[in-house]
Every structure is written in structure tokens, then in C-alpha cells.
Amino acid sequence: MAELPSNPLQHPLPDGIVPESVVARTEGRWVMLMGAMLAVMMAVMVITSVAGALHPSSNVEVVEPLTLHLGGEFVESNLGTTIEPDGSATVRLIAQQYDFVPHCVSVPVGTPVKFRLTSADVVHGFLLPNTNVNTMAVPGFVAEVRTSFAQPGEYEMPCHEFCGLGHHAMWTRVSVVPKDQFAAQGPLERTRCAKQ
């Protein structure tokens, strides 16, 4: 009887067992295939972002995130819901770790609403469940989303972009209220969460 080689990988194999050299060759080919797929996907991302001019969600409107509180559109006194001369509503919000400012907003029902928001620090997300409102709040950019609410109700808005340790607790609320009730609210009532 012939002596077995000392390396167990070189022992003769029972029928049906694939030799080590074949396994290594097959694995090498799969690794090359995976590498090629990664290279293709990376190239697709780079090419489409350059050729398709991908940019932050909604519109390219820049704002200086470090001085939001000092002046301009997102100064604290200008946040919340404003009724424009044409009767539509504009809601301005700042997303920051880990809250939205203001924490709650009221908007009138049956009215075009334009949300304008930005971030003071990192990327946050803004989502009204069961509506078309779903955007990111990116520092340095103003995100704008337009919608309209057909029914009064409460919308809880979770931050849906992981933004740090407090991400899970970051949320705000939009109260859609009847027009006469909205008109009767003062600025403080429009930005507080207590039930009216």
C-alpha cells in the first residue's frame, strides 16, 4: 500500500469530494466576479451622478448652516407656519440633533402647504406618513416640499435619517386643523404640541 502524503489536503479523496485545487480555483473566480460587480456598480454611481447632475433632494438652494440662528429666513422668530398673501401656508423648520424646531406646527386644512427645512448640523430626515412629504434635511441646503391636507388630523414626523445616538427620539408633529381654528390661533399655539 502506497504511503499517504503528510499534507492531508493531498490525500486521495473519496468519490464525489471536490479536490482542494478545484475549490481554490472556483473561489478565486467568484472573488474576481464579485470584484468586477463592485467596480461596475461603483462606476454606475459615479457616471450617473456626474451625467445626471444628482444633487440634494428637492432643489439646490444653499444656506449657511452655522449662522441660521443669527439672521435670514431661518432665524427663530421666522420658524413655524406663515400664511402667504395668496392664502397658502409656508412652514419653516430647522432639524438639529435631536429635535425639530419648532417641535410642533399647526397648518390649516385644505390649503397648499410648502415645507421649507434645513439642518443645523448633520443630515436628518423629514417624513409625513401617508403623504407625499419625504425628504432629507441636509446642512447647507434648503429642502422644499409642497403638499396639501384634505382632512384635519395629527401627523407624527419621525426623523428617518440616522443622525446620532438620539436619532430614535427625534420627531415632531404637524397638526392639521380647521381653517377657522387655525385663524384663531396665536403664534405660540401654532408651535405647541398640547391638544387645542
Nearest Cα residue to 111 out of 78, 141, 146, 77: 146
Q: Phi, psi at residue 63, to the nearest 5°?
A: -150, 150
Choice from 163, 174, 176, 177 touching ligand CUA (CB under 6 A): 163
DSSP E strand boundaries for the chain: 80-83, 89-96, 99-101, 104-108, 112-119, 124-127, 134-137, 143-148, 153-158, 171-177
Long-range contacts of 180-187 (CB under 8 A, 24+ apart): 182/106, 182/107, 182/108, 183/108, 185/106, 187/80
Nearer to ligand CUA, 116 or 124 (CB): 124
Q: Which stretch binds ligand CUA (CB under 6 A): 3-11, 138-146, 154-162, 184-192?
A: 154-162
Q: Binding string to ligand CUA for residues 40 to 79, with x set by CB under 6 A, is what?
A: ----------------------------------------
Examine residue 161 and tell whether it contacts ligand CUA (CB under 6 A). yes
Task: Give the SS3 label for residue 132.
Answer: coil
Cβ neighbors of 85 (< 8 A, separation 6 or more) are none
**Side-chain half-sphere CA neighbours of 72 within 13 A:** 13
Out of 42, 162, 193, 196, name the contact with ligand CUA by CB under 6 A: 162
Q: Which of 117, 170, 174, 177 forms a contact with ligand CUA (CB under 6 A)?
A: 170
159 touches ligand CUA (CB under 6 A): yes
Q: Does 120 bind ligand CUA (CB under 6 A)?
A: no
Using CB under 6 A, pick the residue from 141, 143, 149, 167 that binds ligand CUA: 167
Using CB under 6 A, pick the residue from 92, 116, 124, 190 that binds ligand CUA. 124
Q: Which range touches ligand CUA (CB under 6 A), out of 19-27, 163-171, 173-181, 183-191? A: 163-171
User: Is residue 138 part of the contact set for ligand CUA (CB under 6 A)?
Assistant: no
The C-alpha cell at 11 is 490525500
| Of 182, 125, 132, residue with least CA distance to 157 | 125
List residues binding ligand CUA (CB under 6 A): 95, 124, 159, 161-163, 167, 170
